[in-house]
Amino acid sequence: MRTTEKQPRTSPLVPDAVEREIARHDWDSVDCGCGRPAGHLVDTLWDAAEGHPAAFHALEGHAFHTGRLRPPAPAVCGVLMAVWSAGPPRQSTREALLWALLRLLGAEDDGSSHEAGLYGQCAAHIRAATASLRAAEAHRPDSVSAAYATGILRLLALSG
């Protein structure tokens, strides 16, 4: 019997920086919020990076659950911010991405003293994009994206 190793996923829709961010994490060494190793999140993150809005919502129960951050949250947040930084996604994707970032910032920390804690690590990833979040907020002030961006910026101000 011959074993085949799974080939790394690629997509012309996913920028190299996002692909590198996904690949740099040892997902299987992180306990997911669902209780399994977080390796199963890789396909979800690729789907998110390709612009599928449902993929962002599928992070519920894995990176955050019942108002609390889970161990994969900082790595997931790093990937989401790489997607954000890669360029303006289409409206439905942008709204889902901002929704996920707002959920990450609106969740409680895990209470650990590991590095900056899950919340601090997520906030640091998001804080690096403050200027582009302000631009999203100002671009169409009455849009859902602007409302999410405003919420994210307010939470960052409270945590900073």
Q: What is the pLDDT of residue 26?
A: 96
In Å, the largest CA–CA distance within the chain is 60
- Tokens representing residue 45 in the block: 């993150």
Q: Tell me the β-bridge partners of 60.
A: 64
Alpha carbon distance 47, 56 (integer Å):
9
pLDDT of residue 8: 64
Amino acid at 108: E
Q: Would you mind telling me the total number of residues written for the chain in this entry?
A: 160
Ranges under pLDDT 50 in the chain: 1-4
Query: What pLDDT is stored for residue 56 in this prediction?
Result: 96
Contacts of 88 (CB under 8 A, 6+ apart): 94
pLDDT for 126: 96
Note the pLDDT of residue 1: 47
Q: What is the value of pTM for the model shown?
A: 0.90
